[in-house]
Structure 1
Amino acid sequence: MQIEAGNALPMCAPHTASHFHVEQQVHANGIFADIRHFGWTQSSRAVFQPDSYYLDFSIGPRCPTSRFYSNDRQLADPPGDIVFLPKGGAFAALSEPGEHSLLCLTFANERAMQLFEEDSIADLTPCQDVQIGRVRQGLARLVEELRNPGFGQDILLESMALLLVVELCRHFRHAQYDDRGVYGQMPGWRLRRIKDRIEAELASTLSVADLATEIRTSPRHLMRTFKATTGTTLTDYIAGRRIARAQEQLAQDDAMIKVIAGNCGFQSAAAFSAAFRKATGMTPREYREERGS
């Protein structure tokens, strides 16, 4: 996220834009708002990843040829008038020649962060077309206030921005409750995707952050919901799958112990042997001999 020189406001300026201009900007207790105008004179691809919760509202139609695209590089539908990105989320964008005018809000406000990170709605995902009438009305009112500031502007900005956060959280909480089926647990499709990713990458260093990105959630929320769903921690599950993979390989082939250690994600044969003995009560060599390999 860029910071404009001489100003404390996070600007989130697109690095690839041909030009960028801020019409109005204001900061009130961790709420940052600005009206910006920017555009491109040639096609450009980039990834926009804010380091705080982000909401924008198109003042007029968005450039119709600019599109967001998904991780598999397939173009998604054109973005709507309102785009929401959670902290740590990302949108990849294809920007064609054209102009954009946006109201942009970022939230470093303590109360807003508490609302966004409430347990019941912590599983926030990017949304490129927010369809919430009250959010649209609030954003339009903020555009008016920035362009025609009046008495108590900072108080009005903070109050209205927090109302927008509440409306967003209510919407996402309802949507995620429906998705979970059992409140507080991980949806089946997410659990399957996490387990598939773990099986595919047991030989590598599995990062909780990377696994969270796989299902578009936060590491904290992933670890909490994984345990609530499976009854075991994510760390213990990965460790168990590594030992199970090692047992399979020890029983099925005569590969060197250090090779099996690497195949199962251990940094050394010594670390593998210690973990294997703790889990099974035997060294890898003893386990192989018992299985007659």
Structure 2
Amino acid sequence: MATEFGPTSTLPGTEAGPHSPDRLEAIYAKQTIAKGFGSLGVSAALWQTEIFAGCDQNIPACPHTHAISTCLNGGGEISSFINGRFRYRRQIVPGSTGILRAGDTARSVTHTGWGHCLHLYLPNSLLQQSAADDFGQNAQVELLPTDIRLDPAITQLGKLAAQEIRIPSGGSRMMLDSVSLALVVRVLRSWSSLSAPTELHRSGLAPWQQKRAIEQLQSRYHENLSITDLAAEARLSPFHFIRSFKRSVGVPPHQYLTQIRMERARLLLETTDMAITDVAFETGYQSPAHFARLFRRRYGMTPTAYRRERNT
């Protein structure tokens, strides 16, 4: 089962101490809506603010973690100082994205601001692992000092993460892992010192690996599985596994898991009189409302309407 995080709970998967991501959230976010994480160490915090002006914040460094901020809606105007030096004054609009690199300090002056923002905390160790596994880069990769800019890919990933962590149970670890891996690759491609990075060609899973992964998904569909769980069964890194699985099966692991769960839910609705809430729990969803949304997206009707139609 996923862990539920409230506005005061600690962001996991990152270094502890006075300069941890959780401490930064205490500085940044007056109204944190949700927090969550997968199994790879990437943490996410969604927060909102009402219209305000004149907010001056000093942000300490996270020694081993990069902090990515992306505006989901709303906007404003901010000035930024990095390591004591003025960097920019910019208008913020939906899609505006910036990265505070591991080890950098910042001062952020918000002249005006409102809306929803997502903070994603990316361990540098995960970035380096992806550079080696996905791009064959063995030397240390650095993030480049950059201005605020529009990055639709990161914003879309942020929306997916925000959707998951707002689920009362904390969301799907597998989905958050998939977002995390895509985020790492995007950062390496667009924000790092890698020059025109090209991903290594990966083959699909070996027959025994595919068989083992599918067996795990089919037998443990009711659990909150992670990419790390499946990758360990296949004896691969999470980066290698998720790409090889998609190449072999045709869809990412989290989509394949959803297919299994929806088919199981459909069968339970057709052949039992279990309450909808119990069907949700039986198929691995701790939030009946989230289950109903996914079911309607797949079958074009709510679970209740589906059962009624099949019983008439």
> Scaled by the length of structure 2, what TM-score is found?
0.45
Structure holding more strand per residue: 2
Higher relative contact order (CA 8 A, sep 6+): 2
> Scaled by the length of structure 1, what TM-score is found?
0.47
